[in-house]
Amino acid sequence: MKRFITGILAVGLALTAFTGSQNATAGPPTKTKAPAASSSNPLGLSATQRKKLEAINAKAMKEMMAIRNAGGTQQVQTGKMTALQQKTMAEINAVLTPAQRTKFQQLQAQAMQKVMAEQAADQQLRSRMTPAQIQQLTKVQKSAQAEAMKVVNNNNLTQEQKDAKLKAIEKNYLAQKAKITKSVKK
């Protein structure tokens, strides 16, 4: 189940990172000149594509949270998450050009590898933590996730504002995590 949630989140994080509004053109890409890829827009998305992908991302995040909050067996939730992930990827692929799809798949794979490495490191860390530390860390993680979801789903914020708030949430989470785990032996 966590892997499917991670997959959806990786898609969401990738879309959030790749739909920055800087360097986006005012309209759809033309055949003569596509938007230039940059560090803030590595896929070279047009403004129209960016808006469509932001809407897809927001909708997928809301649906993911609804599935998660609905409860049910792990098997049922996993099936629903798998269907959501497939539907979301089909919607994303419909917006991207073939070249953008290839680049997105590469960037998504890199993001997924990073998430999986972080999860493995967290599992190793947790194996050396006391139950009280694990409980504290879990509470901090859930709080940070809830804050992040509020930001992602806030349609009153620009993408730049969302990015800034998400970075602040991550910074706060990492500081709290460091405080909780400072006495854990390495």
43-67: per-residue pLDDT in tens?
889 989 988 998 898 888 888 888 8
- Residue 22 scores a pLDDT above 80: no
**121 and 164 share one domain:** no
In this structure, the answer to whether residues 122 and 183 fall within a common structural domain is no
- Determine the Cα–Cα distance for residues 174 and 178; give it in Å rounded to an integer: 6
Residues 115-146 have pLDDT tens digits of 899 889 888 988 999 999 999 999 998 899 88
Domain span at residue 163? 128-186
10 Å CB burial of residue 41 (0-12, 13-18, 19+) is: buried
How does pLDDT run across 88-102, given as a tens digit for each residue? 999 999 999 999 999
The token duo for 119 is 């999860």
Residue whose tokens read 């099936």: 79
pLDDT value for 171: 94
Number of domains in the chain: 2
Say if residue 21 is in the same domain as residue 96.
yes
**Residues 184, 150 share a domain:** yes
164 shares its domain with 99: no
Note the helical H segments in 96-130.
98-127
